[in-house]
C-alpha cells in the first residue's frame, strides 16, 4: 500500500484524532452488534501503546437533527469502554469550545469519543469550516473507517487537509486485500458478481472483466444477460433499459462470462412461494428465477477448480428467503474450500458468508459495502486519496 499508516509517524504525546466506523446497529439504546467497534480495536490499542491520547469520531445512522439522541454515540462509547477495559469520556458534540477544552485536557492513554459527526449538516457537504474545527482538536488524523472512505465528508476528506493524515490498520488491510483484485492480481482469478441490478454494477463488471479470467454473474443481474441472449425470463427481474448494455458486454467478454444454466423458480416473490428447478430456457409463464440451480452450482465448482484468487460481490439468489438461499450459501462453502485467496465485498455478500458459517475461512471480508464496490470499480476513494503517500 502506498499510503502512510500509524506505523509511519511519531505518536508519542500526540492527540490522535481518529475516524472510525461506529455506525453500529442499535436497539433500545444498546449496541446489538459490536463487530465494527471490535474491528477498530487494533489501531486504538496501538495508538494508546505509543503514548498518545485518542479522540474518536464517527457518524451513526442518518439523524435529522442534533437533538435526536437515538443517534447518539454514547452507547457505542460504553461498549468500547467495556472492550478496552478503560474509561471512555463522551463529548457533547464533535466540535465547539466545550469539546476543545475536553480535548486539551487529555493525557497520554486517555480516550475521548466525540458525538455523531452527522449532527452537523455540514458533515455530508464536506464543509471545510466544520473540518477545520474538527482538526483543531488533534495533532494528527488517522482514518480507520474504510466503510466511509468513498464519501468526501468533513470527517473523512476535508479534515485531512488540515492535519497530517494516515491510515489505521483496518483501512490498511482493506486496501491491501481489495487492492489485490485491481492491481496485479494472481491468476487464475475468478470474479463473482450478483445482486439485483446490473445498472448499479456496470462499472465494476467492466473493470473486473478487464482483470479476471472468468466472471460469474448470478442473482437478478444474470436475468438481464439471459434475456439479452433471447431467453424468455417471464416474471423474473429484468432491466429492459440495460438489455443493450448486457449485449455489448457479452460481445466484448471473450467468453469469460459464466451465466446460470438452471434456476430455482417461484410462482410468487415470497418466502412461502411454490418452487421448481428448471433450465433457464424453460421458465413457465407466471414464474420467476430467484436462485441458481444445481447444474449451475456444478458449473461454479468446476470453474473454481485450481483458482488462486476470488473476489465476490453480491448474492446469486434472494438469500434472505431460505428457499432461495442455497445457491449463495453453496457458493460461499465452495469458496471456503477453494484454497484460493478469497476477498468478499461488504454488504450482502459479507452477511451471506456469515450466515453460511464460513466467514472465518475467507481471506478478507470487507467492512464496506459501497466503498468496496467503488474500489473494485477502480475509483480512487476520496477518504483514501486524502491520506499522505509513503
Ligand atoms: P445488490 O444490493 O444489488 O447487491 O442486491 C442484493 C439483493 O439482490 C439481495 O437483496 C437479493 O435478494 C437480490 N437478488 C439476488 N438474486 C435475485 C433474483 N434472482 N431476483 C431478484 N432479486 C435478487
Locus of grid cell 412461502:
272
Three-point CA angle 317, 194, 375, nearest 5°: 150
Residues 164, 191, single domain; the answer is no
Q: Ligand 1 centroid vs 382 CA: distance in angstroms?
A: 28
- Cα of 297 vs its chain's centroid, Å: 25
Same domain, 156 and 190: no
Question: Is 383 contained in some domain?
Answer: no
Count up the domains in the chain and report the number. Answer: 2
Question: Is residue 141 domain-shared with residue 226, that is, in the same domain?
Answer: no
Last residue of a domain, one of 171, 194, 229: 171
Instruction: For cell 465476490, name the residue.
Output: 312
Decide: 283 and 236 in contact? Cβ < 8 Å. yes
Task: Determine the Cα–Cα distance for residues 315 and 313; give it in Å rounded to an integer.
Answer: 7
Assigned domain for 291 exists: yes
Length in residues, the chain: 390
The pLDDT assigned to 270 comes to: 97
Give me ligand 1 centre to Cα 376, in Å.
19
**Order of strands, sheet of 341-344, starting from the edge strand that comes earlier in the sequence:** 257-258, 214-217, 189-193, 309-313, 341-344, 364-365
The C-alpha cell that represents 359 in the structure block: 466467514
65 phi, psi to nearest 5 deg? -145, 160
Q: Is residue 385 part of a domain?
A: no
166, 315: one domain: no
Mean confidence (pLDDT) of the chain: 95
Q: Of the candidates 141, 171, 201, which is a domain's last residue?
A: 171
pLDDT tens digits for range 306-335: 999 999 999 999 999 999 999 999 999 999
Instruction: Give the model's pLDDT for residue 359.
Output: 94
Q: Residue 183 has what pLDDT? A: 87
CATH at 102: 3.40.50.1260
H or E element in which residue 79 lies? helix 74-84
Q: Is residue 103 in some structural domain? A: yes
Domain boundary among 118, 142, 171: 171
User: What amino acid positions are annotated as catalytic residues?
Assistant: 36, 197, 347, 370
- Judge if 72 and 145 occupy the same domain: yes
Look at ligand 1, atom 21, and give the residue with the nearest C-alpha.
220
217 and 156 belong to one structural domain:
no
pLDDT digits (tens, 9 = 90+) for 271-305: 999 999 999 999 999 999 999 999 999 999 999 99
Range of the domain at 106: 6-171
**Cα 344 from Cα 364, distance rounded (Å):** 6
- Closest by CA position to 262, among listed 287, 298, 230, 234: 298
Does residue 359 share a domain with residue 237?
yes
Distance CA 153, CA 138 (A): 18
Is position 179 within any domain? no
Q: Is 167 found in the same domain as 192?
A: no
Cα 181 to ligand 1 centre (Å) = 23
Given a cut of 80, whether residue 5 has pLDDT beyond it is: yes
336 and 195 in a common domain:
yes
One domain, residues 87 and 125: yes
pLDDT of residue 197: 82
Nearest residue (by CA) to ligand 1, atom 6, is 195
- In this structure, are 141 and 289 located in the same domain? no
Question: Which residue's CA is the closest to the ligand 1 atom numbered 11?
Answer: 318
Report residues whose beta carbon is within 6 angstroms of any ligand 1 atom.
194-197, 200, 219-220, 237, 289-290, 314-315, 317-318, 320, 348
Q: How far is the CA of 218 from the centre of ligand 1 (A)?
A: 9
Amino acid at each position: 500500500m502506498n499510503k502512510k499508516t500509524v506505523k509511519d509517524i511519531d505518536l508519542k504525546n500526540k492527540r490522535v484524532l481518529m475516524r472510525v466506523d461506529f455506525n453500529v446497529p442499535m436497539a433500545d439504546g444498546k449496541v446489538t452488534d459490536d463487530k465494527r467497534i471490535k474491528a477498530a480495536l487494533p489501531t486504538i490499542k496501538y495508538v494508546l501503546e505509543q503514548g498518545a491520547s485518542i479522540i474518536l469520531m464517527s457518524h451513526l445512522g442518518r439523524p435529522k437533527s442534533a437533538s435526536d439522541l437515538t443517534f447518539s454515540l454514547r452507547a457505542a462509547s460504553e461498549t468500547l469502554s467495556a472492550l478496552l477495559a478503560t474509561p471512555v469520556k463522551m463529548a457533547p458534540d464533535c466540535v465547539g469550545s466545550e469539546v476543545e477544552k475536553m480535548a486539551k485536557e487529555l493525557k497520554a492513554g486517555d480516550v475521548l469519543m466525540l458525538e455523531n459527526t452527522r449532527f452537523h449538516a455540514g458533515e455530508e457537504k464536506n464543509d471545510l469550516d466544520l473540518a477545520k474545527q474538527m482538526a483543531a482538536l488533534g495533532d494528527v488524523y488517522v482514518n480507520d473507517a474504510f466503510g466511509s472512505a468513498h464519501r468526501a465528508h468533513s470527517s473523512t476528506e476535508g479534515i485531512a487537509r488540515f492535519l497530517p493524515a494516515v491510515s489505521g490498520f483496518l483501512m490498511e488491510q482493506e486496501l491491501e486485500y481489495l487492492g489485490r483484485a485491481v492491481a496485479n492480481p494472481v491468476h487464475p482469478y475468478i470474479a463473482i458478481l450478483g445482486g439485483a441490478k446490473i445498472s448499479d454494477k456496470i462499472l465494476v463488471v467492466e473493470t473486473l472483466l478487464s482483470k479476471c479470467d472468468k466472471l460469474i454473474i448470478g442473482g437478478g443481474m444474470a436475468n438481464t444477460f439471459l434475456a439479452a441472449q433471447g431467453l424468455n425470463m417471464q416474471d423474473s427481474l429484468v432491466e429492459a433499459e440495460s438489455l443493450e448494455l448486457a449485449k455489448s458486454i457479452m460481445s466484448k467478454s471473450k467468453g469469460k462470462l459464466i451465466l446460470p444454466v438452471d434456476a430455482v423458480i417461484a410462482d410468487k416473490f415470497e418466502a412461502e412461494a411454490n418452487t421448481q428447478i428448471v433450465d433457464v430456457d424453460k421458465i413457465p409463464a407466471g414464474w420467476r428465477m430467484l436462485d441458481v440451480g444445481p447444474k449451475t452450482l456444478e458449473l461454479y465448482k468446476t470453474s473454481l477448480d485450481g483458482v488462486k484468487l476470488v473476489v465476490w460481490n453480491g448474492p446469486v439468489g434472494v438469500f434472505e428467503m431460505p428457499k432461495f438461499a442455497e445457491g449463495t450459501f453453496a457458493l460461499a462453502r465452495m469458496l471456503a474450500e477453494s484454497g484460493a485467496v478469497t476477498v468478499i465485498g461488504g454488504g450482502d455478500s459479507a452477511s451471506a458468508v456469515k450466515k453460511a458459517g464460513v466467514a472465518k475461512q475467507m481471506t478478507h471480508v470487507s467492512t464496506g459495502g459501497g466503498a468496496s464496490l467503488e474500489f473494485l470499480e477502480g475509483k480512487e476513494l476520496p477518504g483514501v486519496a486524502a491520506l499522505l503517500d509513503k
